[in-house]
Amino acid sequence: MDALTGLPEATIIRDRESMEPFLRDESHLRGVPPLAVVQPRGAGALRELVRRAKAEGFGLVPRGAGTGKAGGCVPTEGTVVVDFSAWPGDIRVSPRDLCLSAPASAPLREVKAAAEAHGLFYPPDPNSWESCALGGTLATNAGGPNACKYGMTRHWVLSVDALLDDGELHTFGISSVKANAGPALGQLLIGSEGIFGFILGATLRLAPLPREYATLLLPVKRWEDLLDLPGRLSGAGFLPSAFEFFDPAVLAELRAHGPEEARRLPGEALAILEFDERGCTSEAFLEGLQDLLGPVADGLEIASDERQRQGIWAVRRLTSAFLKERHPGKVSEDIVVPRSRLRDFFEGLGRLGFPSVSYGHLGDGNLHVNLLAAGETDPAILDGQLMDLFRLAIRLGGTLSGEHGIGLAKRDAFLALSDPGHLHALRALKQALDPQNIFNPGKVI
């Protein structure tokens, strides 16, 4: 493609076979072949790309590690994929400022490890933390199991380095939790899914590293009992740093077909709870917990060392990949409802009458509802099922995505179900920041 000839500081991939992996992410969607894949190594490449995209009318699709579940980084018609995996920069920890700066290309696992090497903690923990890139987590405002205590990625971002439609590099924010000189523009980029510009790096807030963990495997006798537990725990003064669950159907699949460690799992349904505050391994703390959990538990396992803790978490971390391997055409949603409406949600889901299985982040009401038979379902019927699911979540005060974002996968539903005022404001922002619609066209809005 002529428009990319002589692009500085970049590798350009154009042959169909090498571009194939860039057509997909971890959603069920496949993009169209892009005009090219560009791997920039300096601001000069991005500046030129933006200039040429505006002049030639092609779009720019930012890509991190491609682990997204909403089709956000898959190419649409007439676009160039901008793969940030070669973007330069080091991870630098500032213990005195309790912060860390890192480039968009940094693997999240390295960001977390760099903080830990200084006895510090970067909490965001999407279950893809071993494979996703920091830039992708910023652009999707990733959450994870510990969001129920620590919040999402945006709660840990102090400043953002970004390149916008003017082709220039800007830093939004400072390395301090207190900064109130006007609206926080950096936050506008967090969760923007690449539609406002390129995120090149960020400065992230850190916390002291937790020193003890109480990790519990909680099988329950009756699945419904699990649904009141998040509220009952907070009512009793307990704040888990993670509260994950598997409904009876997911548990049965894991038991019947999962790896060795999953086959022994007891109960009608199952939860994993973790606490990380000082004193959480004390007898008094655990006794208090047991008093609360005992009546609903069907046996309770408490990890007594790091190996056992990792064993409990391994089951959770493998669930998504396991279900995908068994049901390659499945569609996995990530609706969210207020925790007080969990029971109402599952009753409503039952009434919708289509088969689904659920697991995920019960502690913050973010549920991965999986339609395992999606691949064999008529697309029009599937669309109807998904819309019913989203409407149910919205009716209960929730929304259609708790963490994965809108991307391409949920765009139609987002446009159909969102408040018109919300869409109007979002379109006005997009028009102001990207008037020629070069950044991730066809996504979100």
Ligand X SMILES: Cc1cc2nc3c(=O)[nH]c(=O)nc-3n(C[C@H](O)[C@H](O)[C@H](O)COP(=O)(O)OP(=O)(O)OC[C@H]3O[C@@H](n4cnc5c(N)ncnc54)[C@H](O)[C@@H]3O)c2cc1C
- Applying CB under 6 A, the residues found at the interface with ligand X are 25-26, 61-69, 72-73, 84, 104, 126-128, 132-133, 135-137, 139-140, 142-144, 193-194, 198-199, 320-321, 403-404, 407, 440
Phi-psi sector, 170: left (phi>0), alpha (psi -120 to 50), beta: beta
DSSP 341: G
Between 272 and 293, name the residue whose CB sits nearer to ligand X.
272
Q: How far is the CB of 202 from ligand X (least distance, A)?
A: 10
At its nearest, how many Å lie between ligand X and the CB of residue 52? Answer: 18
- A 10 A CB-CB count for 218 gives 23
Residue 84 vs 297, nearer CB to ligand X: 84
**Cα dihedral angle (101, 106, 108, 112), rounded to 10 degrees?**
-40
271 or 293, CB closer to ligand X? 271
Least distance in Å: CB of 321 to ligand X? Answer: 6
| CB-closest chain residue to ligand X | 136
DSSP character for 298?
S
Closest among 131, 174, 160, 145 to 26, alpha carbons compared: 131
- Alpha carbon 341 to chain centroid distance? 22
Determine how many CB atoms are found less than 10 A away from the CB of residue 213.
16
CB-nearer residue toward ligand X: 137 or 356: 137
Minimum CB separation of residue 76 from ligand X in Å reads 11
CB of 371 to ligand X, least distance (A): 17
Rounded CA separation 197/166 (Å): 10
With respect to ligand X, which residue has the nearer C-beta, 104 or 400? 104
Q: Are 63 and 24 in contact (CB under 8 A)?
A: no
Rounded least distance, CB 348 to ligand X, Å: 24
Nearer to ligand X by C-beta: 72 or 348? Answer: 72
- Which residues fall within 8 angstroms of residue 15, CB to CB, at 6 or more apart? none
Q: Say how far apart CA 212 and CA 405 lie, in whole Å.
A: 32
CB-based contact 54:437 (threshold 8 Å) = no
Minimum distance from residue 293 beta carbon to ligand X (Å): 24
* Beta carbon nearer to ligand X, 84 or 346: 84
CB of 342 to ligand X, least distance (A): 18
Looking at the Cβ atoms of 221 and 317, the one nearer to ligand X is 317
The closest of 360, 368, 364 to 337, measured between CA atoms, is 364
Cα–Cα dist 23/107, whole Å: 21
State how far the Cα of 327 lies from the Cα of 258, in Å rounded to an integer.
13
